[in-house]
Amino acid sequence: MHEMSLAENIRQIIEEAGCRQGFGRVRTVILEVGALAAVEPESLRFCFDLVMKDSIADGARLQIDSVPGQGQCLQCGKTVPVAALYDPCPCCGCYEVQATLGTGMRVRELEIE
């Protein structure tokens, strides 16, 4: 995925929150990123530092909390952990596992001064 676009979206979210809630500086940005969200954390960090320049989050620390992937097996019906979209069901071994969790990403919290 294109981490630069994501970093720009994060900046927009932070600036809008800053406007609404009236805070000046952001010290830490806490993201939740699903294990199946196709986001490369190292790449996102690289983009984050560049994109936050001259914003209220300039120099802010980025914390990325990973949300594990989860899916439902269409054969045995169980909810199972999913590390990759093509993983087989750990219970019955079939490949009909539909990812249900860990595909999204969001800005969860900001630490502000």
Partner 1 sequence: MCNVCGCGAGEARIEGQSLQPGHAGGGLMAYRRLRSRNERQHLPADSRWVAVGSPVAPSGEKPLGESEASLLPSAAPAGLIHYGQGAAGGEVPGMSQARMVRIEQDILGRNNVHAARNRAWLAVRGILALNLVSSPGSGKTSLLVRTIEALRTRIPLAVVEGDQQTSFDAERIRATGAPALQINTGKGCHLDARMVEQALEKLSPVEESVVLIENVGNLVCPAAFDLGEAAKVVVLSVTEGEDKPLKYPDMFAAARLMLLNKVDLLPYLSFDVDKALDFARRVNPGLEIICLSATTGSGFSAWLDWIEARRRETLALRHSAPLTCNLPSGPESHADRC
Minimum gap (Å) between residue 112 Cβ and partner 1: 5
Instruction: Assign 3-class secondary structure to the chain.
Output: CCHHHHHHHHHHHHHHHHHHHCCCCEEEEEEEEECCCCCCHHHHHHHHHHHCCCCCCCCCEEEEEEECCEEEECCCCCEEECCCCCCCCCCCCCCCEEEEECCCEEEEEEEEC
- The answer to whether residue 101 forms part of the interface with partner 1 (CB under 8 A) is no
113 binds partner 1 (CB under 8 A): yes
Q: Which residue lies nearer to partner 1 by CB, 90 or 104? A: 104
Q: Scanning residues 39 to 98, which ones bind partner 1 (CB under 8 A)?
A: 40-47, 50, 61-66, 74, 84-86, 88, 95-98
Q: What is the CA radius of gyration of the chain?
A: 17
Q: Given the complex with partner 1, which of 3 and 70 has the nearer CB atom?
A: 3
Q: What is the binding site for partner 1 (CB under 8 A)?
A: 1-7, 9-10, 12-14, 16-17, 19-21, 23, 27-28, 30-31, 33, 37-38, 40-47, 50, 61-66, 74, 84-86, 88, 95-99, 104-113
